[in-house]
Amino acid sequence: MILAAACEQQTGGGNGNGNGDSAFQLNTDYFDVPQDGGTISMTYQFVNRPENDGDFFITSSDWITFTGDDLATSTLSFDIEANPSRERTDTVVIRYDYSTGFLLDTAFVHQDGQNTDVFIDAKSCTGEYYSVGGSYYTWISTAGLWIMDSEGINVNFFSSEEPVTEEFQENGNTYRRLVTLPAGTYTYDPMGTEEPGTFCAPSFYGIYSGNYSYTPRYEITDGTVIITDLGNNEIQIEAEVTCNDGRSYGVFFSGSIEDYIYING
């Protein structure tokens, strides 16, 4: 994606950092950004900058947004989005176009991420809510519940909040289902006290293999699940857990839950 300050782009014979008597160069070409994101500033210098004759055009990934050029301090500013998944690096191409050519330089932006042994970019969140005990039996996975080769984690968590539900019809009967999950931070409780803000067994990592079985299946022994309310009945789930195979698992989901059934029992 190209993000740029507005100007009329013109062609020319220049290339690279220099063109004839003019040259452009960043003072630093590598930037390290935390997982939470933030802003970065790239200072630059010109040799014989073409005056009143051009502007910057920036090529980068969607998670890097060009926010402007401060002429007084020779600084390009960028906003970096938070990173919900693995660490990432992108090359930012900075091109200064003017009437007789262009000047060019590049920078690398590295962002920390969730560096677990296994990372799951989940596309589905579904499950069952049990009114007795307030148990949310939740399957966060790549493909959904009872779908072959669907990979994810099952989290059995507890909240003191009453679930938000809606009614639906199926085969002439009226049922209830959840439309969202309660936001909060949930930590693994090996004692299974079922206290609000905890999750416990049966919570596991698995790949669905048919006949209500998962192969492999590893029980969760520690970890944290964070659910964030995004509004409009959409949520974000970030999980980092450890299983009894000794490996760490990271999960990210963003969107609406589906077919999350309310069960009186």
How high is the pLDDT of residue 17?
56
255: left (phi > 0), else alpha (psi -120 to 50), else beta? left
How high is the pLDDT of residue 32?
96
85 vs 242, residue with greater confidence: 242
Q: How confident is the model at residue 166 (pLDDT cuts 50, 70, 90)?
A: very high
What is the biggest distance separating any 2 CA atoms in the chain, rounded to whole angstroms?
80
pLDDT tens by residue, 92-151: 999 999 888 899 999 999 999 888 999 999 999 999 999 998 999 999 999 999 999 999
pLDDT surpasses 50 at 246 = yes
Distance CA 230, CA 261 (A): 21
The mean-pLDDT minimum among 19-23, 33-37, 75-79 falls in: 19-23
pLDDT tens by residue, 149-158: 999 999 999 9
pLDDT tens by residue, 201-231: 999 999 999 999 999 999 999 999 999 999 9
Q: How confident is the model at residue 52 (pLDDT cuts 50, 70, 90)?
A: low
150 Cβ contact list (under 8 Å, min separation 6): 124, 141, 142, 143, 144, 207, 208
Q: What is the residue-averaged pLDDT of the chain?
A: 90
Distance CA 5, CA 94 (A): 12
CB 28 within 8 A of CB 107: yes
Q: How confident is the model at residue 9 (pLDDT cuts 50, 70, 90)?
A: very low
Chain-centroid distance of CA 171 in Å reads 38
96: left (phi > 0), else alpha (psi -120 to 50), else beta? beta
Mean pLDDT, range 36-52, rounded to an integer: 89
The mean-pLDDT minimum among 18-27, 142-151, 183-192, 242-251 falls in: 18-27
Helices and strands per DSSP (H, E), number in the chain = 0, 22
Q: How confident is the model at residue 18 (pLDDT cuts 50, 70, 90)?
A: low
Mean pLDDT, range 38-65, rounded to an integer: 89
Q: What is the DSSP letter of 163?
A: P
Position of tokens 């809606």? 166
Distance CA 85, CA 87 (A): 7
In this structure, which amino acid lies at residue 223?
A: G
Distance CA 117, CA 240 (A): 10
